[in-house]
Amino acid sequence: MQTTISGKAYVLGDNVDTDQIIPAQYLTFNPSVAEEYKMFGKYALSSVPPAQSGLPKGHVPFHTKDEFVSDYTIIIGGKNFGCGSSREHAPIALDAAGIKCVIAEFYARIFFRNSVNGGYIVPFETGDRLCEQICTGDELTIDTASGKLQNLTTGETWQLKPLGEVAPIIDAGGIFSYAKKVGMLKA
């Protein structure tokens, strides 16, 4: 895991489900094939309703139609991020789109575990309603060790909840890499 994650924020609201993160019609792509993996990035967040994207200013595109990677690096969500089906492709799609971290008030458990187990994105939780305090396009930086989030655009700072027991798994790059590192699996 990077010690610092920096970049532009993309703000969403509550109950962003896995069908919004990666719509079902794009699940025919195989994430283990490099050319198809990037297609997950192209279609990531392509079905987020306009009222939910870019709060409070209305719809802001996650990326243009022809891009595979977004200009945004950090997603700010509300409550219950990643709800819906247990689609493991959701964190893959965000990773393929260039997202390094999602910060939400809380996650659907399966989305959280898929993010950590695959080593795709860092899922921080917050006790603050950041989706109403941060705007899409704000420049953010996160110190992953201390959990300090700073909005470079406004100068505001917040303390995120510690990653706890999942931090070593994220550091290792996912559950299988972690298991090999600690001797649970043969290298």
> What does the pLDDT read at residue 2?
79
| pLDDT 10s digits, 95-119 | 999 999 999 999 999 999 999 999 9
Rounded to whole angstroms, how far apart are CA atoms 25 and 157?
39
Q: Which listed CATH number (3.30.420.40, 3.20.19.10, 3.10.20.90, 3.40.50.1100) goes with 4-181? A: 3.20.19.10
Residues 27-78: pLDDT tens digits?
999 999 999 999 999 999 988 765 555 444 556 778 877 889 999 999 999 9
